[in-house]
Amino acid sequence: MIVRGVLLAICVMAAAACGSTTDGTGGTGGGRSGSAGVGGDGGAAANGGAGGMAGSGGVGGAEVCESSLLCGTPAVCCEVGEECFAGSCVPTCASGIRCGDDGSVCCADGDVCLAGACATPGIACTDSFDCPEGDFCEPTLDQCLPQPTGPLCELRPESVTFEPTIEWHWEGWSEDDRYRHVQSTPAIADVDADGKPEVVTVAYRGTSNNMLVMLNGEDGSENLMIPDSRYNVRWGTGAALGNMDADVELEIVFMTQDRRLVVIEHDGTEKWTADVSGGGKQGYPALANLDEDPDAEVLIGAKWFDNDGTLIEDKGWLGCNGEWCMTAAADFNGDGRLDIVGGNRVYEADGTLLWENSSAPDGFVAVADMTQDGRPDLVSISSGNARVLDGVDGTVVFGPVPIPGAGTGGAPTVADFDGDCRPEFAAAGRGFYAVYDLDCTGNPVPLAFCATGRSDGILWSVPVQDLSSSVTGSSVFDFEGDGKAEVVYNDECHLYVLAGEDGAELLKLENSSRTAAEYPLVVDVDADGNSEFIVPANDDQIGRDGCAVGTHGLISFGDSNDKWVRTRRVWNQHTYHVTNVEASGAIPVTENDSWAGDGLNNYRQNVQGEGVFNAPDLAVAGLSVNTSSCPSAIRIQAQIANTGSLGVEAGVPVGFYQGSPPDGALLGFQQTSVALLPGQSETLTIDFTPESADIGPWDFYVTVDDEAAGLSLALECGEDNNQGSVGAARCVVVQ
């Protein structure tokens, strides 16, 4: 429940021993100790006696109001051990964590108040996929909390306009900017275990001169740069990242020009190499745990190696569409162990052929439950056609559907593109990008699940240009969190963001590539809680491709309006799916089925997990005046609370003003000194020193998340609860 800010109007009367009321009637100041009763100010004896004494507990003098704390409207003097909360004197909450609709519940120290109830934080986490099902990762705590149900503080983008800004642009190696072209899907994870992601890619000056590049995800600065004189990385391929041993840093895996598979430590130290020559193919490696030990194995094509480089099986090349190969792993037979997956066959980890469809060609793959029978299916793009094969026996259950505009076809993505709660898949070709829908078949076509009404197996297609390789990939992301995934795709000349439901062009930017099997991707690359998309670029063939503008390097785009929903900090390999890697870069000992989890029936799509819309909400939960220093000073006390469902880091600005909003005179700024978790508050103070002989009255107000300080928190549930006022405060001086 969102608790709105409390606006208080407190009349403060502090004096040593006040006399009669202003009309001469003797005051008693009666009521409870701390009531707002005020003794007279020296009225006639006949009308109450000279200086009628303040009644017990009145505000007749500082010695009577022992706490010197006045609160509420009308003002009362709180008892010692009480505090002012929501305009009332209430017992002090030692933990500072009030909860319940009225703040009457005091949570235990270490708990948080989440959606009106006390909650105990769980295990450490980086994202929600580190947490038990149903929990979310609270980013201020870096601990798991149960995702509440019912009304809670959420921030959902009402509409998203794609107005990206370049957050950083790596334009080439600082020591030799000829190495400025990138044609590799980047791999992103916290390689050096410093809490921030790194970006690993391949840069070339010519297709035979390719160096490994590791950049700081926060600003694109160079971290580990390995020239081609040491490792000449295979052109048109990229790296995989993951933890393959007992330390906390990650390993980097890639293929070289002379067709070696190389594994290096985070600092470039070589762990092992292996021969992967033969067959004239090249590919992106993948990491997966194929056995019972805790260390990951390496797959490339249909060759897989133990974590020490020992060859386990060699079945040639797999997951290939033309020259390039991308191997995937998934549990197809339900035995709890991953199988090695290609476009037309599946092997168990011991090399046993699980099934093969010899009538279908090999191809680029994705794994998802396309038929919604609870079992995995195989999406295959191969030789100009799209297919879906049943995961049990390899029977073709959809297709072949020719790729519009011809072309070999790029790696497929799987997502709910149109918001019908059913999966679709997409791939690019030579002249079109298309979304394929198993519902877009039959007679009649079920319009409830195929809104475009096409019956050729295609939901929609839009023109693109990939006249060279025609194997360029894409990724998908639900930027709005509305259940409809958008497409992020780059052809030879342009970067596109396309609406998932109909292919409408949401963004088109000049960005050139000679194209291979690379694709842009969406990730929180700088760990700032916001999503970015990372885009490779090269301009050595723009004349051939007819591009108006040439670009090169690696570019991180962020949302200029900070409205894209947040996502994970990791995208560790070309066949990325959420369950294949933990946020730390660890490869799961037992990988959860990606098609079975809530919101996870997708492939090459980054997602959010629980709590994606949880948001903070800053409010003035209590405003009081301490009169202990009257008449020389008045202390204004503002209790700043986070009444939302997500924590806020320290440093929130709070402005104290004299006068009435919005035209008051600034007394000064204070900043919160601690992180404000859900339900937590902090009291900030400032002293007001009156002019000589000035006894008021004065008006004061306080603004939290004060934009005038230049430090405003951009995203919170409401902006209408950020102010509290105290009016007609005065200090009566007895002569």
Q: What is the pTM of this model?
A: 0.84
The answer to whether the beta carbons of residues 675 and 642 sit under 8 Å apart is no
The answer to whether the beta carbons of residues 342 and 317 sit under 8 Å apart is no
- Which is nearest to 580 in space by CA: 195, 376, 286? 286
Query: Given the structure tokens 């974590």, which residue do they identify?
Result: 307
CA distance 252 to 233: 12
Q: Is the dihedral of CA 362, 366, 370, 376 positive or negative?
A: positive
CA distance 327 to 92: 61
Q: Tens digit of pLDDT for each residue in 500-523?
A: 999 999 999 999 999 999 999 999
Structure tokens at 516: 């291979």
Q: How far apart are the first and last CA of the chain?
A: 50
Q: What is the largest CA-CA distance in the chain?
A: 115
Q: Tens digit of pLDDT for each residue in 309-326?
A: 999 999 999 999 999 999
Residues in Cβ contact with 124 at an 8 Å cutoff, skipping those fewer than 6 apart = 130, 142, 143, 144
Q: Tens digit of pLDDT for each residue in 210-232?
A: 999 999 999 999 999 999 999 99
Cα three-residue angle 633-637-643, rounded to 5 degrees: 170
Residue 422: alpha-carbon gap to chain centroid = 24
Structure tokens at 33: 């100790």
**Per-residue confidence (pLDDT) for residue 148, from 0 to 100:** 86
| 123 φ, ψ (degrees, to nearest 5) | -70, 160
The pLDDT of 709-718, averaged and rounded, is 59
Alpha helices in 650-690 (DSSP H): none
Average pLDDT, the chain: 86
Structure tokens at 359: 């009538």
- Which is nearest to 539 in space by CA: 527, 552, 554, 526? 552
Confidence of residue 116 (pLDDT cuts 50, 70, 90): confident
CA distance 573 to 268: 18
CA distance 332 to 336: 9
Residue type, 95: S
Cis peptide, bond prior to residue 662, ω within 30 of zero: yes
CA distance 66 to 76: 12
The answer to whether the beta carbons of residues 252 and 244 sit under 8 Å apart is no
Q: How many other C-beta atoms lie within 10 A of the C-beta of residue 402?
A: 16
The answer to whether the beta carbons of residues 440 and 508 sit under 8 Å apart is no
| 708 φ, ψ (degrees, to nearest 5) | -65, -20
CA distance 600 to 580: 11
**Per-residue confidence (pLDDT) for residue 47, from 0 to 100:** 33
- Which is nearest to 584 in space by CA: 137, 191, 288, 240? 191
Residue type, 616: P
**Per-residue confidence (pLDDT) for residue 415, from 0 to 100:** 97
**Per-residue confidence (pLDDT) for residue 200, from 0 to 100:** 98
The answer to whether the beta carbons of residues 262 and 253 sit under 8 Å apart is yes
**Percent of the chain surpassing pLDDT 70:** 87
**Per-residue confidence (pLDDT) for residue 709, from 0 to 100:** 54
Q: Tens digit of pLDDT for each residue in 164-215?
A: 999 999 999 999 999 999 999 999 999 999 999 999 999 999 889 999 999 9
CA distance 75 to 71: 5
